[in-house]
Chains A and B, each alone.
Chain A
């Protein structure tokens, strides 16, 4: 694609296709950021879309040449925080209590540690380091969208046991990402 700054300049002048190119170039990274803090998967695209639209509405105030993604992420952060706070504030008004307590926990995390710069690449790298069978399960389920029951059938395993296996894989991936974060922090290198 063309240079991001060129696309941003054209978008500032009112070219929707240029802004579409900007969205296409940054959406995976932004959606990965949002995905780390939401209680429901459906929020990811909804909040990302809101952030992109807000960014477009305020594009005139953005200085081309500075870090567009950092600016966009701050907008997404504000939308995310507002949505989490709203869900928490409505506690017990809504029927999905699990979403409410998850939102409270995610809000705490967002306030404490809003910075993950390369979560998307880190997670992809961690997946690539999984044992073959685990990696295959993850790729088929999350990449291809295969239901767990189908994967379990092809592996000759009960679906229930595969769900627990996937739970353990997610624990392992979380630990892998945390190690990468610790290694990336100044003065924290060499973490086992």
Chain B
């Protein structure tokens, strides 16, 4: 590696390289494969030294346990604790047993109360499967889940890695977040099929890469057929009067600060509700009714492509939420 590159890599690892210089370093490393290899070696040793030489990682195990206690199955977790301790304390004297029971009830109640939703879904609430990239939910996905619950849905979240096509059975809706890695959604890796391509349940997704895999657009080329436009706050509603337009028309501010908007290049036979402001052919809200011809297959049930992206739910304006709500409600009326 050249000396000037060495110095900049050294600055970068010391946290003293500014953003333009880092960008310039990246361009040079990209053109020089040997230098890139050496840079990766530096990263490897730099990061491993921190782990190897730190005295202890204070609180790491505690943080993991804390996350586990907050997981959706905390109830099962606490029940497991109760069951196990009951089993192992049968031989205790009565007073000790009673004291343990009081503590267990308190702990169990605390965990159950933590899980209790302020507005529990009704027993006939639509059952929604939210497919995400990781659990515990990232902030953007958490906001979506809360909104779905606000709409009266019972939501269960699963990661794209774990979910299987059969998980869609009996669901009122499968919502697929852009935090999923598209490769995890492929039923057969490397083949152009997706886990919910043939699902009988309605599918609502804001993972633009999946638009093609789900048969919703004709082309698979990034930036030509699908993508996420950065620095956006507005989309343009072009099919007003449709339930998916939520009563809105024309340019609509959907994000309070500039962010990414997912888009797909649809054919004319799609229900194209809204597009990017810069290009009326790139749809930010589009849909197919059950049985409609999609580029990849006849729609097994309703399909909706939506403009959200990983964290845009944190920036949605009231109009943005209106459009989200409309997409959910329309999908549920399959």
Contacts and interface: CB of A to CB of B under 8 A. Distances in A.
A17 B65 contact: yes
Interface in B38-79: 38-55, 57, 60-65, 67-69, 71, 73, 76-79
Interface residues of A, number: 68
Interface in A70-122: 78-79, 82, 85-86, 89, 93, 95-98, 100-102, 105-106, 109, 119-120
Interface size for chain B: under 10, 10 to 19, 20 to 34, or 35 or more residues? 35 or more
Contacts of B46: 41, 170
Contact of A53 (B30, B37, B133, B135): B135
A79 B65 CA distance: 19
B65 A163 contact: no
B136 interface: yes
A98 B57 contact: no
A56 B68 contact: yes
Contact of A123 (B23, B26, B43, B48): B48
A89 B26 contact: no
A54 B135 CA distance: 8
B45 A27 contact: no
A5 B48 CA distance: 27
A135 B13 CA distance: 18
A133 B52 CA distance: 19
A49 interface: yes
Nearest to A139: B53
Interface stretch (B178-186, B233-241, B300-308): B178-186
B81 A16 contact: yes
Contacts of A98: 12, 22-23, 25-26, 29
A173 B48 CA distance: 11
Main DSSP-derived SS at the B contact region: helix
Contacts of B38: 171
Contacts of A37: 44
B258 to A, nearest CB: 12
Please give me the 3 A-B residue pairs with the lowest Cβ-Cβ distance, nearest first.
A14-B80, A35-B47, A163-B10
B136 A53 contact: yes
B67 A53 contact: yes
Nearest to B87: A13
B209 interface: yes
A139 B30 CA distance: 32
B49 A85 contact: no
Given A28-B57, A93-B228, A174 B45 contact: yes
A123 B183 contact: no
Nearest to A108: B40
Contacts of A139: 53
B22 A170 contact: no
A134 interface: no
Interface of B: 6-7, 9-14, 19, 22-23, 25-27, 29-30, 36-55, 57, 60-65, 67-69, 71, 73, 76-81, 83-84, 133-136, 161, 181-184, 209, 228, 230, 260
A138 interface: yes
A37 B4 CA distance: 25
Nearest to B136: A53
Interface of A: 10, 13-17, 19-21, 23-24, 27-28, 31-32, 35-39, 41, 44-45, 48-50, 52-54, 56-57, 78-79, 82, 85-86, 89, 93, 95-98, 100-102, 105-106, 109, 119-120, 123-124, 127, 138-139, 142-143, 148, 160, 163-164, 166-167, 170-171, 173-174, 177
A10 B84 CA distance: 9
Contact of A97 (B26, B135, B181): B26
Nearest to B7: A164
B62 A20 contact: yes
B223 to A, nearest CB: 9
A119 B61 CA distance: 21
A20 B59 CA distance: 10
21 contacts: A15-B84, A20-B61, A23-B64, A28-B51, A31-B51, A31-B57, A49-B60, A54-B135, A78-B161, A82-B133, A89-B209, A98-B26, A100-B26, A102-B40, A106-B40, A127-B49, A142-B50, A142-B53, A173-B45, A173-B49, A174-B44
A167 B42 contact: yes
Contacts of A163: 7, 10-11, 14
B61 A35 contact: no
A145 B30 CA distance: 31
A21 B61 contact: yes
B64 A20 contact: yes
Contacts of B80: 13-15
B47 A36 contact: yes
B41 A170 contact: yes
